[in-house]
Structure 1
Amino acid sequence: MTYQQVFPAISAIANYGNTTIPDLWNLSPFLTILLFAMMSLFLFYMIDRAGWKRAEKVEEGE
């Protein structure tokens, strides 16, 4: 019921056309890949340090 009022406002904000993250942030594509790779590695490291494991894996190890 609110589609006619809400969608045009959201579409105007989010409609950048055919663009990529490096274009939006004015970065080199390789720097963007490096940034996301480093964030992923950091996330995996933090998950490992926190000890978040699946329940069946914890039961097998004990």
Structure 2
Amino acid sequence: RVIEACGLDPSEWQGFAFGTGVDRLAMLKYGLTDLRAFFDGDIKWLKHNGFSAFDLPSISAGAVS
């Protein structure tokens, strides 16, 4: 349906899409079960999981310093 929506003939064209976001990788790394918590902006949740609103990621320290 996506190919049709782009105006292409699906009998001539085919496709496959795969992707993962940084948020999903962080879920795996930190063992989180609910993606929605990342977007709630709850300071208590951030502190509970070891994040700080003022942490700056760096190459040497990673996402969490």
Give TM class, smaller chain: under 0.3
Q: Which has the higher helix share?
A: 1
Q: Which has the larger radius of gyration?
A: 1
What TM-score, normalized by structure 2, do the two folds share?
Answer: 0.27
What TM-score, normalized by structure 1, do the two folds share?
Answer: 0.27
